A and B are shown apart, each in its own frame.
Chain A
Amino acid sequence: MIRFILRRLAIAIPTLLALIVVSFILMKVAPGNPFTGEKTLPKEVMANIMARYGLDKPEWQQLLDYISNIVLHFDFGPSFKYKDRSVTEIIAQGFPVTFTYGMWTFVVSTVLGVFVGVLAAVRQNSWVDYLSLGITIGAQVVPVYVVAPLLVLIFTLWLGWLPGGGWNGGHWSNVILPVVALSFSLVASVARIMRSSMLEVLGSNYIRTARAKGIPGYKIILRHALRPALLPVVTYLAPMLVYVITGSVIIDMYFSTGGIGSAFVNSALNRDYSTAMGITILYGTLTIAGNLLVDLIYAWIDPKIRL
């Protein structure tokens, strides 16, 4: 087990390095630089800026400097766009916001999704099943950018119950709408996976045996069916976790949370190389960690899997 984890961590290092190099090259290939604006700067001004940020050096050297600063000083450099702040500060400010609404979304989607999925499977072909199927298919096809403004329209403008945006230090009233908007389609996905996997398990021989032995229905479901049926859901949860805690641009955009999702997209559009790189590395690390976590959970849920 420990060896497995260590081996995976060892592989993570070259993976991250490759990620850095590839993103670095992609960004350099894109035309323009972080300092081109509607007003073209005089070349002397531009030269000073390039020198200040080390962009006048050969590209291979920029890459080496960048990597060595990370490795030696854990320094991701200054942001080229948000000039008063470093990339580390941008991440330190935006990530906790994203992490908060992301974790809530994760919990809500998982609990609600599993519950609805199990309910639909147990009451297969009843009105409960049809209703939940109908709602989940609907929820899955409506994108976040439709749900988000709709929620604001209903709960902010018409009902006046919740603020339509802002973060306010993570006040509960500011967290609800982002979480609901982001959970919407995720609940649906989890519920649908849960339902079909539950149905499969419920149709298997050992469950039939359990029923034949006269074990009560709720016990069969909780003790015997739920755990194996969760396996496919867990496979889905890992990328979902990474997805929700790295933030949704749409959520950040519509709810002005100050989260990291919009910082990421803006940095790419603004050619804010250092910020885009920093967040890419963060996302990469989270993805690797997420995948490792899912493997560990797999082993825990299913004793047949040996690490």
Chain B
Amino acid sequence: MTMLKTLSRAALVAGLLSTTMITASYAATVPEGTKLAAEQTFRYRVLDAINSLDPQVVEDVDSANVVNNLFEGLFSEDAAGNPVPGVAESFSVNADNSVYTFKLRDAKWSNGEPVTAQDFVFGWRRAVDPALASPYAYFVGLAGIKNADDIVAGKLKPEDLGVKAIDDKTLEVTLSGSVPYFVKTLAHATLFPAPQKVVEQFGKDWTKVENIVGNGAYKLTENNPGERVVIERNPGYWDDAKTVINRVEFLTINDENQGLTRYLAGEVDQTDVPAGQFPKLKGEYPEEAFSVPNLCTYYFSINVTDSAPDALKDAKVREALYLAVDRDVIVNNILQGGQQPAYTFTPPATAGFKAPDAPAAAMTQAERDEKAKALLAEAGITAENPLSFEYIYNTSDAHKKIATVVAQMYKEKLGVEMTIRDMEFATLLDTRHQKNYAVARNAWCGDYNEASTFLSLMDSKSSQNDSGYNNADVDKLLADSKVSTDPNPLYTQIEEKILADVPIVPIYFYTKVFMQKPAVKGWPYNNVEQIWYAKDFYKVAE
């Protein structure tokens, strides 16, 4: 038996409603009486050259921002990060939440051909095809689509993927089980459709300006890697009538300070704030400087495997290290970008997630320091039997400042000697992965707006589990959460286990700090993943 669901937020949360819906899509909503700017061009600074425009291949955030405007999946995200319909018009799901059936709207590719269910089947098979070797191939398995992991591993063929086109406008997706966050993954580029004929005709060159065909609100008109990528309004887009921004320029500016100068000169509409400059800019340009929560956590990984120093295998020692970090000093004096101190792993801004009350969060730093000393004494760390270990991080001014200040805190408060060593990013990743370290800098950003994107790192089998943390209870809770109708209480329990075992020392939750021209309206400030679509913006006359 299947039940129809509306695509509203309430329905996604509550589950099962039986009304057919009229799609409430998300678009630029210009209040009446607004005087729009004559030139509707949005200029956005990106850090580096855009790597790829292929939805199934793209991996970095800036490139994904371009792809999100050139293509459209079954769902997009609204300003708060909730799924809103894209190509999907409605969907239904079977009783055990394992088969989803999507009805597609009348949408067109930029060459005028209709977007069909087959295009999704082609795109998704492509994503897991070992021949394409997409770095995000794992995402399809993460979304729970049946057989994805086995296809990636070469045990099954791409045709065995749990997705099929019932007809041109009906797509059926079979999951390997209930996946509570499945619909949220559909706004991710990996699960966008791909234009089969174009991809097959041009091969790797299909994303070139002269060849590319998309189904998003914009079309690619210029691509000069390292300089700029330009996209312009696609009049064939199904919701084009509501689009206001005509042109988006993604300007590569490697240096943040240079980005700021060019922002102030009016050459870009939005740029990141260089580290440490937020308070000053907020003072000078209160209407233009923004600090919004981001779905990322900065933390230290502690090696808890056999290759670690013996002392670190003791949870008491790890907890002492966790307590003695004065996070307020780090966020207020070093970073100064509105970041929040972190005592747990998953950012509290994550949709639906409730962080446990970490006892340390309620203490003063003096109390935390006292407790840390007591714990070290219990663990037998004394002046005669001192603790020393090495902390590694990737070369960067900000990381260095944090490393230095934490080393100082450990030394002064606990008498612990933490030597610090920087290395290239690629080397750090390798060293961490090989577990050839004691304590290492780490950071994680969510792939989708749900706590499991963080907590799955604590699975003993996870390839991202740099600490080598192995707790059977955590593994079980993670497994249970996958089939639970409301996994969030389980996520809270996992956080509690992490608090007890301390395989990591959360330091702070990232914020995105940026400057944005007051003329730009419609930016999704409350979307913690900062996923944006230029079709939702408009510029007012100044």
Which chain A residues have a beta carbon within 8 Å of chain B's beta carbons?
Answer: 30-33, 35-45, 48-49, 51-53, 78, 81-85, 90, 93-94, 97, 149, 152-153, 156-157, 160, 163-167, 252-254, 256-259, 262-263, 266, 269-271
Contacts and interface: CB of A to CB of B under 8 A. Distances in A.
B133 A44 contact: no
Interface in B77-120: none
Interface in B250-284: 251-255, 257-258, 261-262, 264-265, 267
Nearest to B142: A42
7 contacts: A40-B433, A52-B131, A83-B54, A84-B52, A167-B227, A256-B228, A257-B227
B253 A31 contact: no
Contact of B426 (A43, A52, A271): A271
B224 interface: yes
B226 interface: yes
B315 to A, nearest CB: 25
B227 A258 contact: yes
A153 B224 contact: no
A48 B52 contact: no
Given A82-B51, A254-B258, A31 B463 contact: no
A165 B135 contact: no
Nearest to A148: B258
Nearest to B258: A254
Given A156-B267, A252-B226, A38 B443 contact: yes
A184 B192 CA distance: 49
Given A44-B152, A45-B138, A78-B204, A164 B258 contact: yes
Nearest to A81: B51
Contact of A157 (B51, B149, B253, B264): B264
B261 A149 contact: yes
A36 B425 CA distance: 9
B304 interface: no
The 10 A-B residue pairs with the shortest CB-CB distance, nearest first, are A32-B426, A258-B227, A52-B133, A258-B226, A44-B153, A48-B133, A48-B130, A253-B254, A49-B133, A83-B52
A152 to B, nearest CB: 5
A38 B224 contact: no
B463 A165 contact: no
Contact of A165 (B134, B264, B267): B267
B542 interface: no
Contact of B154 (A38, A44, A83): A44
Interface in B213-236: 224-228
Given A85-B225, A271-B426, A165 B251 contact: yes
A164 B48 contact: no
A258 B253 CA distance: 10
A266 B48 contact: yes
A50 B289 CA distance: 43
B306 interface: no
Contacts of A82: 49, 51-52, 225
A160 B262 CA distance: 10
B49 A157 contact: no
Interface in B429-445: 429-431, 433, 443-445
Contact of B262 (A30, A94, A152): A152
Given A40-B433, A81-B51, A48 B152 contact: yes
Contact of A84 (B57, B262, B424, B445): B57
Contact of A31 (B59, B207, B427, B464): B427
A122 B31 CA distance: 72
B53 A84 contact: yes
Given A30-B426, A49-B135, A156 B226 contact: no
B375 interface: no
A83 B463 contact: no
A262 B254 contact: yes
B262 A156 contact: yes
A31 B227 contact: no
Given A82-B49, A85-B225, A94-B226, A32 B261 contact: no
Contacts of A271: 426
Given A42-B138, A156-B267, A258-B227, A165 B262 contact: yes
Nearest to A34: B426
B207 A48 contact: no
A269 B426 contact: yes
B186 interface: no
Contacts of B262: 152, 156, 164-165
Given A36-B430, A37-B59, A44-B154, A256 B52 contact: no
B261 A258 contact: no
Contacts of B121: none
Contact of B226 (A43, A53, A263): A263
B137 interface: yes
A38 B252 CA distance: 21
Contact of A32 (B137, B138, B265, B430): B430
Interface in B143-157: 149, 152-154
A164 B261 contact: yes
Contacts of B137: 45, 48
Contacts of B49: 82, 258, 262-263, 266
Most A-side CB within 10 Å, residue of B49, B52, B208, B445: B49
Contacts of A259: 226
Nearest to A262: B226
Nearest to A163: B267
B353 to A, nearest CB: 20
B207 to A, nearest CB: 5
Nearest to A255: B258
A83 B51 contact: yes
B43 to A, nearest CB: 10
A35 to B, nearest CB: 6
Given A51-B130, A252-B226, A262-B226, A269 B424 contact: yes
- In this complex, the member of A44, A53, A152 whose beta carbon has the largest number of chain B beta carbons within 10 angstroms is A44
Contacts of A35: 135
A157 B260 CA distance: 10
A257 to B, nearest CB: 6
Contacts of B264: 157
B251 A166 contact: yes
Contacts of B138: 41-42, 44-45
Contacts of A33: 426
Nearest to B464: A40
A169 B208 CA distance: 17
Given A30-B427, A33-B426, A97-B227, 5 more contacts: A42-B138, A84-B53, A152-B261, A258-B225, A262-B226
Select the residue from B138, B152, B153, B226 with max chain A CB neighbours within 10 A.
B226
A247 to B, nearest CB: 11
A153 B261 contact: yes
A94 B252 CA distance: 14
A263 B254 CA distance: 12
Contacts of A85: 225
Interface string B441-464: 001110000000000000000011
A48 B155 CA distance: 12
A40 B464 CA distance: 6
Given A259-B226, A266-B49, A271-B426, A156 B130 contact: no
Contacts of A164: 258, 261-262, 265, 267
Nearest to B254: A253
